[in-house]
Homo-oligomer: A and B are copies of this chain.
Amino acid sequence: MEAWELPVCLNLYLSKLNLVKGLDNLNEHQIIKEYFSDVGSAYLAEHGIRVSVGDDAAVLSPPKGKESVISVDTSIEGVHFLKAMNASDIAYRSVSVALSDLAACGATPSWFTLALSLEDYDPIWLSGFRRGLEDISSELKIPLIGGDTTKGNLSITVQVGGYVEKGKALTRKGAKVGDLIYLTGTIGEASSALESIKKDNLVDLKKSRYLRPKIRFGVSNKLKGIASSAIDVSDGLFQDLNHICTASKVGANVYLEKIPTFLSKSLSSEEMNKGDDYEILFTSDKTNKEKIEGISKQEKIPICEIGLIIKGYEVQIITPEGDFLKASSGFQHF
């Protein structure tokens, strides 16, 4: 980038490209000014950001005694969002799911950048997109500090940064045999919302967990020193638990009837593993039970115990009938 840069090399190789309707009206500086400047700029100072959109790079001072936590996520049309979605929801969702990885680490979010590929110049779409950026920015009080815009198939890569007290970041590695397995919120709302969106029920679901995932920063911030390992549920509950088991070199027993589902619906293990819930899955020593109940009450978010860390290397799903299912059968789709 600059701390915001637009399709510079387009100029050079434009002859090689098929001009897309509208792109010949594209003026890079106009786009930056209209759609990407001043998103959350009110929050720059409090995050120690000295140079932002409009220079070669962003310059920031991390707070004393903290470590930086950074992550990146790409959202692609047809894979991570649907064309039918509003531009504002696409923007909100793309930033939100990137932030989820910071929550999984117990970090406090501080800034984001945006690398956006656009097929054409559509001012209405871009205005909506800006609104979505502004929504997530003002909700979490974090600024957009830079980016890059290129011509190409619609693709949104969001880099997020935050901070955590030194040595306190939650990782996937610390789960120990005998730890309990916990899950915030419920499973299944996102995939249920996605089904409805596919049936063009967009309006009713304006603020749904699929379109506008709410990230559990409140809970995850309080889990530092309590959770032994943590991950956000993006791939699917069992797949993500498997990531913890692999990193921690342990196994897990999960009890199907203990898993809290959206509207208390009965879901199959495959349905539970559909992902996109962005809840926090974590492990903790048994002695922390009361503290975790306290966090749940303070944050007004249910936190359910769903299983136990055991010796081994597999995630075993135990049905109410006492049958064992191997999680590995649920998430290898290709």
Contact = CB atoms under 8 A, between A and B. Distances in A.
Interface string A56-83: 1111111000011111111110111000
B275 A11 contact: yes
Nearest to A15: B333
A193 to B, nearest CB: 13
A205 interface: no
Contact of A101 (B24, B57, B104): B57
Contact of A80 (B80, B150, B171, B236): B150
Interface string A304-322: 0000000000000000000
A9 to B, nearest CB: 5
Contacts of A67: 50, 59-61
The prevalent SS among residues of A at the interface is: mixed
Total copies of this chain within the assembly: 2
Contacts of A76: 117, 150-152
A334 B62 contact: no
A42 interface: no
A65 to B, nearest CB: 10
A172 B71 contact: no
B11 A101 contact: no
Contacts of A62: 62, 68
A132 interface: no
Contact of A14 (B153, B161, B164, B333): B333
6 contacts: A5-B73, A11-B236, A16-B78, A59-B68, A60-B68, A73-B115
